[in-house]
Structure 1
Amino acid sequence: MTQNLLPHHIAIIMDGNGRWAKKRLLPRHAGHKAGVNTVRLLVKLCAEKGIEVLTLFAFSSENWRRPTQEVNLLMELFMSALQREINNLHKNNVSLQIIGARDAFSDKLQQLIAQAEKLTEHNTGLTLVIAANYGGHWDIVEAAKRLASHVEQGILPCHEINEKLFEAQLCLANLPEPDLFIRTGGEKRVSNFLLWQLAYTELFFTDTLWPDFDKVLLDKALESFATRQRRFGRTGEQVSENA
């Protein structure tokens, strides 16, 4: 596939870890551990293909509703994965960014996140974004609060607020919006993920559970993306004329 037909930014909801484990008569956390292996593979594949940004939905703001034991195990897995993988990411020129409300995490986890981001901040290869304790509604509300504060302080006249200023307050403001959204596990919804940023993103759904997602399926998603005509409100004829 030629480089100009590849997405710049892929966003993925990694769904199906628990069901993968249940099918194998394993505890749910075994599925989450297997899912980390898939993350490692996808990071490698995207870096090799020249994808600029890979954003993964690791833990939503709604996931706190899960059983306490599972949440605690997810937090432990997040921490251990950071400790184990960060040097390898740095070695491979990957820049790591974590988006979401960090104040709900333990002090130790917050410190690890800050250290990992600082270590990799100047890397120029793939940007890996992990959405943890993230929700699209939260992202939009936080952006609105920051703009409201600027208006309240007299820094920004209310009538000057526009889409560009609003986008600048969102979590992915420094990155291109996702071109391709992938969701594994058979569900066909975006589940409060990057609600603003997915406005014109191409969607790809698969029944495959996340631990089983592989190079073949990534290539299938990329091939599907390459066939899409991205019009952004224009007609097909206009797009063809400007191609």
Structure 2
Amino acid sequence: MRKPLHDIFPAPPADLDPQLLDPAAVPVHLGVIMDGNGRWARKRALNRLNGHRAGIEAVRELIRCANDVGVRYVTIYSFSSENWARPVDEVGGLMNLFATTMLAEVEGLHEEGVRVRTIGRLDALPARTREAFERAELRTRDNDGMTLVVAVNYGGRDELVHAASQLVDQALRAERAGREAPVVDAAALERCLHTAGIPDPDLILRTSGEMRLSNFLLWQAAYAEFSCTDVLWPDFTRYDLLRALLDYQGRERRYGAV
């Protein structure tokens, strides 16, 4: 049974009324570009890794709240394929943080009925980090609650190149076997994406005042709504999510129609 809204949002700011949220109008799939950890740390004269650690609580808050209000899929952009260009100590610290956090959180996610799925090239991750994500996927694979999709070593362009390569490979195999080449259309390409079987995002939320996709779900975001907030990710709360959801439910989605 879904929690009452006053339990999910027990202490809203004066300008927010949780009762205005229509549970039937929340996005099925929410994508989140978690930005601002470094700036949050810099404002406090801390190491950037402290900002990433502080952002973990915001991730927990997001997952709990999204699950409670009925969002079925949440995709978090945790590490892009371009993030390898960051300083070596930051990348190493992030990889350790991913592993430690995933191992610590998996049982709680399992108890909540959350299913964990990863997208991206996990084969390039350090063994401990890769194994932590694989363990989480295995432990939660039979859950039927919200799906938490962790985009790690993920890039939208790389995903599209990978999908195109898969289609070429399928055509070559068909040619060698004397079969007719498979049809190449949008549906065929989508079956080759990392997100195969996951609906496209309805809403993409980005924090820290930036307004760009940063190579996140490029194909899938074709008709997503966008919500940008100046809040830095470690400061993001369920009430910031509520603002985004209320704004989203007031929009008319026309998918290119008049």
For Structure 1 versus Structure 2, the TM-score category normalised by the shorter chain is: over 0.9
1:233 CA displacement:
1.8
Tell me what 1:240 maps to.
Answer: none
Secondary structure of the residue aligned to 1:173 is coil
| Percent identical | 42
Tell me what 1:11 maps to.
Answer: 31
For structure 2, which runs of at least 5 residues remain unmatched after alignment? 1-20
For the residues of structure 2 that align with 1:46 and 1:37, how far apart are their CA atoms? 14
For structure 1, which runs of at least 5 residues remain unmatched after alignment? 236-243
Q: Per-residue displacement from partner, 1:116-158 (whole Å, max 9, x unpaired)? A: 1011001011100010000000111111111110000017745
Tell me what 1:229 maps to.
Answer: 252
1:139 aligns with 2:159: yes
- The one-letter amino acid of 2:227's match is F
Tell me what 2:227 maps to.
Answer: 204
Of 196, 218, 228, 2:241 maps to: 218
Of 40, 43, 49, 1:23 maps to: 43
1:84 CA displacement:
0.5
**RMSD of equivalent CA atoms:** 1.2
Paired residues in the alignment total 235
1:4 CA displacement:
2.4
Is residue 174–residue 181 contact of structure 2 (8 Å, CA) maintained in 1?
no
1:186 CA displacement:
1.0
Secondary structure of the residue aligned to 2:150 is strand
- The one-letter amino acid of 2:215's match is N
TM-score (normalised: structure 2): 0.89
Tell me what 1:32 maps to.
Answer: 52
For the residues of structure 1 that align with 2:180 and 2:75, how far apart are their CA atoms? 33
Secondary structure of the residue aligned to 1:131 is strand
Question: Which 4+ residue blocks in structure 1 deviate beyond 4 angstroms?
Answer: 155-159
1:3 CA displacement:
2.4
TM-score (normalised: structure 1): 0.94
Superposed, 1:89-238 pairs within 5 Å as: 89-154=109-174, 157-158=180-181, 160-235=183-258
Superposed, 1:39-118 pairs within 5 Å as: 39-118=59-138
- The one-letter amino acid of 1:205's match is C
1:109 CA displacement:
2.1
Tell me what 2:11 maps to.
Answer: none
